[in-house]
């Protein structure tokens, strides 16, 4: 029941990141801090079930990405890890707003999210994936978590930095 796709279409992942960046930018500009909870729910849905129950995930995988050409496959576990980081940041932002009423803390956390979502959507750099690779290299994440990542990792630093 709790499954995340593996492999993941990189085009869909970048489309989701673009959607997150747009929603986050709107939230910051409008000062609609309650949207941090909406963003957190979206990340939670994607962490638990991939795009299956996420409106943004469905839009990306079923509508937008197929129009961008053939899929480009990338390992799923680092993408799930990146979604979990997004869940952590947006949950912290929602807590900052709803429990502490801190617009400053909420805005700061969402600004970080905006930077990293933009990096992935525009440049294809997934910071969560980069961290995942570093944690695998350090032995914190076992190679059995992502055999494809372990194979990619041995090809060279340029390949790893893109994952």
The string of DSSP codes covering 1-26 is -----SSEEHHHHHHHHHHHHHHHHH
Per DSSP, the residues of 21-63 read HHHHHHHHHHT-TTHHHHHHHHHHHHHHHTTTT-HHHHIIIII
State how far the Cα of 54 lies from the Cα of 88, in Å rounded to an integer: 17
Residues 6+ positions from 14 with CB-CB distance below 8 Å: 120, 121, 124
Per-residue pLDDT reduced to its tens digit, 14-58: 999 999 999 999 999 999 999 999 999 999 999 999 999 999 999
Q: What was the pLDDT predicted at 158?
A: 39
According to the model, what pLDDT value does residue 161 have? 41
Instruction: Output the pLDDT for position 150.
Output: 73
Confidence grade of residue 154 (pLDDT, cut at 50, 70, 90): very low
* pTM reported for the whole predicted model: 0.90
Decide: 110 and 31 in contact? Cβ < 8 Å: no
Confidence of residue 110 (pLDDT cuts 50, 70, 90): very high
Q: Mean pLDDT, the chain, as a whole number?
A: 92
CA distance 26 to 14: 18
Asked which of 17-26, 80-89, 123-132, 139-148 is least confident by mean pLDDT, the reply is 139-148
Is the pLDDT confidence value at 75 over 60? yes
């Amino acid at each position: 029941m709790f499954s995340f796709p593996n492999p993941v279409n990189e085009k869909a992942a970048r489309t989701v990141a673009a959607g997150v960046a747009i929603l986050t930018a709107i939230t910051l500009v409008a000062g609609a801090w309650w949207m941090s909870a909406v963003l957190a729910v979206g990340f939670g849905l994607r962490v638990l079930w991939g795009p299956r129950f996420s409106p943004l995930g469905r839009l990306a995988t079923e509508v937008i990405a197929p129009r961008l050409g053939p899929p480009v496959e990338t390992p799923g576990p680092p993408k799930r890890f990146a979604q979990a980081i997004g869940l952590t940041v947006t949950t912290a932002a929602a807590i900052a707003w709803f429990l502490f009423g801190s617009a400053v803390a909420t805005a700061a956390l969402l600004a970080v999210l905006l930077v990293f979502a933009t990096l992935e959507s525009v440049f294809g750099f997934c910071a969560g994936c980069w961290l995942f690779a570093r944690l695998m290299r350090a032995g914190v994440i076992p190679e059995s978590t992502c055999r494809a990542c372990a194979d990619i990792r041995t090809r060279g630093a340029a390949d790893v930095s893109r994952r």
